[in-house]
Amino acid sequence: MESNKSSMGLKVALGIALVLFLGTAFYTMNLYKESNDTKKQLTEEKQLVMNDLNAMAKQYDEAISENEIANADLVEARARIQGLIDSLKISETNVKSLWRYKSKYLALQKEMDVLLAQNDSLRVENSYLATSLDSTRVRLEERTIFTDSLLVQNTALAEVVENAAVLSTVGLKGFGVIERTSGKLIPTERAGRADKIRVCFTVAKNALVQSGDQELYIQVIDPKSNTLGLNEQVQFGEKTLNYSLVSKFNYENSNLNICEFVTSKNDFEKGRYVVNVFNQKDLVSTSEFTLK
């Protein structure tokens, strides 16, 4: 009787143990399955974040490539995205880590929207500026053609230089003269009879040039390439100018006729003479004549 009771109790205990074992096994299997599913889902989410970051980086690359001079803010933001991508590749795949990267991505997305909007606005402004510069260049070219025509015809000479704040000369002429004891001057084309070279020109009116004392450098070169007159030098930066004389005058913002005389230590040579007028280092007028 007692033996039967013991046997029955053992069977009951084994049954309970079996039920507990099976329950534990079932619970463990469910946990394992849920863990794998969660890990798979987190891996997929991580890949989605990676894809979003790569797409964002591509947008920055396109924006940077559209600018000849890369926007520093775009370059810096692109570098931070690359750093986040590299960090995400080696990060742990868990909820806390993934949430942190998603938060950073959302912050970068807002920043990118602002930066790309600014970049688009800047590109539009640059395009408008380029169009404006092209239009200005066309008008300047048209102005140059008009100015050249005026120079050829020697008309409206004051308008030719009205947009340049420098003195300019027109009507430059050089010729030999015989000087009588009375002071009378007689033009001559014969080298042997010439006493001096007379150089005459008109300083053109230019309202942009300040009135007052001004000066121009005159250079007369004989057929043997000698500089007549003073033949002194003046330095303008890296350029040296040999001049025959300095023409000094009072400029009152109106056309001014000027004549100067250049002498030679020796007799004048036969041949072609060149006359140049310089405003400091800039050649503003040139002419030539011949003595026989």
Residue keyed to tokens 């043997």: 224
Q: Model-level pTM? A: 0.45
Find how far residue 25's CA is from the centre of its chain.
Answer: 75
Spell out a b/e string for 40-69, using b for 16 or more CB atoms within 10 Å of the CB, else e. eebeebbeebbebbeebbeebeebeeeeee
3-class DSSP assignment, residue 29: helix
Q: What is the pLDDT of residue 53?
A: 73
CA dihedral 109, 110, 113, 114 (to 10 degrees): -140
- How is residue 272 written in tokens? 């072609």
Alpha-carbon distance of 230 to 55, in angstroms, equals 76
CB 202 within 8 A of CB 167: no
Q: Which helix (H) or strand (E) holds 67?
A: none
Compute the mean pLDDT over every residue in the chain, rounded to the nearest whole number: 76
C-alpha 80/C-alpha 38 separation (Å) is: 29
Burial of 161 (0-12, 13-18, 19+ CB in 10 A): buried
Q: What is the pLDDT of residue 152?
A: 59
Condensed to tens digits (0 to 9), the pLDDT of residues 231-259 reads 999 999 889 999 999 999 999 989 999 99
What are the respective helix, strand and coil percentages of the chain, to the nearest 5? 50, 25, 25
Q: Running DSSP on this structure, what letter comes out for residue 208?
A: T
pLDDT for 179-231, tens place per residue? 998 889 999 999 999 999 999 999 998 877 888 999 999 999 999 999 999 99
User: Residue 138 has what pLDDT?
Assistant: 67
- CA dist 42 and 101 (Å) reads 12
Residues 228/266, Cβ–Cβ less than 8 Å:
no
89: left (phi over 0), alpha (psi -120 to 50) or beta: alpha
- List the domain boundaries for the chain: 2-125, 161-291
The CA-CA-CA angle for residues 176, 218, 262, to 5°, reads 35
Contact 203, 249 (CB under 8 A): yes
**Residue 60 and residue 112 in contact, taking contact as beta carbons nearer than 8 Å:** yes
Instruction: Evaluate whether 286 touches 277 at the Cβ level (below 8 Å).
Output: yes
Q: Say what percent of the chain tops pLDDT 90.
A: 34
* One CATH from 3.90.1200, 2.30.29, 3.90.550, 2.60.40 for 161-291: 2.60.40
Q: Which of 41-55, 60-74, 102-116 has the highest mean pLDDT?
A: 41-55
Q: What is the pLDDT of residues 150-187, one digit of tens each?
A: 555 554 444 444 445 678 899 999 999 999 988 899 99
Buried b (16+ CB within 10 A) or exposed e, 252-279: eeeebebebebebeeebeeeebebbbbb
